Amino acid sequence: MAPKLTKQQKADLVLRLCALKEAQARHLRTAVHKAAVGAERKVHRRVKKVSMTVRSVPILEVLNYERRASPTIAEIGKLARRP
């Protein structure tokens, strides 16, 4: 049978568990923030590689075109020049 705890011991235990919970939550928030920053940097790097003429093409139009064929960058550039 588990030993009986006094009210003070229970209060101390609750405080320690709350502190542990806060520390874990802080750690998880930090990890999520680092992952978000890394993903954002990755997206920015990839966007920088795309030529300016292709950037004006809406992504939905590119995805619809891609479903029908396997376009090259030149073909996507033609989409950008279309009125």
With 0.85 as the threshold, say if the pTM is over it.
no
Higher pLDDT, 4 or 2: 4
Q: Please check the confidence at residue 54 and state whether its pLDDT lies above 80.
A: no
Model pLDDT for residues 5-38, shown as the tens digit of each residue: 899 999 999 999 999 999 999 999 999 999 999 9
**In angstroms, rounded to a whole number, what is the distance separating the alpha carbons of residues 17 and 7?**
15
Higher pLDDT, 48 or 82: 48
Residue type present at position 20: L
Q: Where are the domains of the chain?
A: 8-49, 51-83
Q: Which residues contact 73 (CB under 8 A, 6 or more apart)?
A: 51, 54
